[in-house]
Amino acid sequence: MSSRSSKNVVRITAHDGTPVEFIEEVKGAGGLKDCYFSPDRSYAVLFFRDPVDANGRDRLKSIVGRYRDGIFSQTGGDYWNNVYCWPQRTVEWNGKFGITTPLYAKHFFFEHGSKNNDMLKIAGREKEGKWFASANNRNKFLDPRELGNWATHLRICLLIARAVRRMHMAGLAHSDLSYKNVLVDPVGGNACIIDIDGLVVPGRFPPDVVGTPDFIAPEVVATAKLAKTDPARKLPSIQTDCHALAVLIYLYLLYRHPLRGGKVHDMDSTRDEELAMGERALFIEDQNDKSNRIKVANVRPSEMPWADTNLRPYTLTGPYLAPLILRAFSDGLRNPAQRPSANDWENALIRTVDLLQPCANPKCEQGWYVFDNSTKPRCPFCNTPYKGKLPVLNLYYSTHKRGQFRPENHRLMIFTNQSLFPWHVNRNIAPNEKLTPDQRQRVGYFVLHNDRWFLVNEKMPELFNATTNSAVAIGDKVELTEDLKLLLTRVEGGRLLHVQLVDAK
């Protein structure tokens, strides 16, 4: 049932009985759907141009119903409002089936756009990830004010991994993860997964698409010409999502594709593409086979220095991400079961964020880098060395036996105003969507004063200097000295910090 006002506002009733309004003007057209905005621009209404069959309707009703409820109604469900553009209702109008979705947040639209007074006229348009995942696009086209820095790109990767992990926990696969279906905001470090209406539910809702080139898993490319009913045909799944996620993370941190190197597999360009992305896929930084290295002499200047894997190797991502990258694009290319899970990526990214150091060079393009565990750290992006005393905090956690602590292979790097959070204090608190408002508040911070580093206690009632056997009261500070041991809390899972001072003068 619908009616139209003099302002061309269409009013209909969604299948769940709620009212829906939209202005009868197509504001955007994708591959499958036309987009209309609500009068207050709080949501969009998307109608499929082609008829949607019974299975498609069932899929969409499940996505806006029980699958949505299973994620958004759980503890921490509100968190996902900022990370997913999840369909909310199904509707019909003029014989067309559709969905309603929230509109994207303002920060997912270009403010400045491209260089030279927005020569490409992209200001106000959506920030598709392709703009930020290519060294050529970043260097040649984008206004520098849109680029963010390496720390915000890490946060983008973390949000994407977390969102994919939650979908996979629910038994859902996105099926078309790509920089086209992930909006990013490098300035604020935000990300939002879109086009969720094509979710795959193994055994119930098969995929509608095989994915987007550059992100399709090798086994899907290699079997693409087989009939969908052929048992040897590989279709999008949670495992193929894991390949696409690895590609996204590599692109957002290194601004090049992990499989697009200099190797030619066939003189026919179509066949060469099929082989390079399919059965003969080869990591451009493969440890044993260097035949697919990028030929630097053949790349555009705007792709440098990122195209040179000697200058920007994947290992600069640090001790937690580098092994996952290697696994994803070595064994994981041939054996999908070996691919790092979204949970693996999320945990590695959390620990990598704790290893970040700000670059001392105010003109450094990336601004931040991962501490390389050396005694003379330097920024890999601009080669600026760190100077002065650098505290490195090694994290240990308490066991069931009182007074015993185990190492975690987890470090926290210190810089001025670096914060200490509840998840640093207690390993049983995970920095994810389930954090309570109190757990999101910092409990202490670090300052450099007269060439001496201090931890200021803001909200740790049990902070104890285990080296001097003295309490550190809230409001007090403790100097970080070589071999200092600080007990942050006495509860199970509570952490002990062991201080190392790297003197990089």
pLDDT in tens, 381-397: 999 999 888 999 999 98
Q: What are the residue ranges spanned by the domains of the chain?
A: 2-103, 107-353, 387-503
Q: Which residue has the higher pLDDT, 4 or 477?
A: 477
Angle at 246 (CA atoms; ends 190, 382), nearest 5 degrees: 70
Alpha helices of 354-412 — where are they, by DSSP H? none
Query: What architecture (CATH level 2) is domain 107-353?
Result: Orthogonal Bundle (1.10)
Q: How confident is the model at residue 3 (pLDDT cuts 50, 70, 90)?
A: very low
2-103 has which fold?
Phosphorylase Kinase; domain 1 (3.30.200)
Q: How confident is the model at residue 401 (pLDDT cuts 50, 70, 90)?
A: low
Cα first-last separation, the chain: 75
What proportion of the chain, given as a percentage, has pLDDT over 90? 68
387-503 is a CATH 2.60.200.20 domain = yes
Helices (H) and strands (E) in the chain, counts: 12, 22
Q: Note the Cα 162 to chain centre separation in Å.
A: 7
Q: How confident is the model at residue 5 (pLDDT cuts 50, 70, 90)?
A: very low
Average pLDDT, the chain: 90
pLDDT for the residue numbered 248: 97
DSSP 421-478: -HHHHBTTS-SSTT--TGGGS--EEEEEETTEEEEEESS-TT-EETTTTEE--TT-EE
Question: Is this model's pTM higher than 0.75 or not?
Answer: yes
pLDDT tens per residue, range 173-216: 988 899 888 999 999 999 999 888 878 877 776 666 677 889 99
pLDDT for the residue numbered 400: 65
Res. 47: pLDDT tops 90: yes
Res. 448: pLDDT tops 90: yes
Q: Which residue has the higher pLDDT, 206 or 313?
A: 313
pLDDT for the residue numbered 480: 94
What proportion of the chain, given as a percentage, has pLDDT over 70? 96
* 356 beta partners: 370
Res. 59: pLDDT tops 90: no
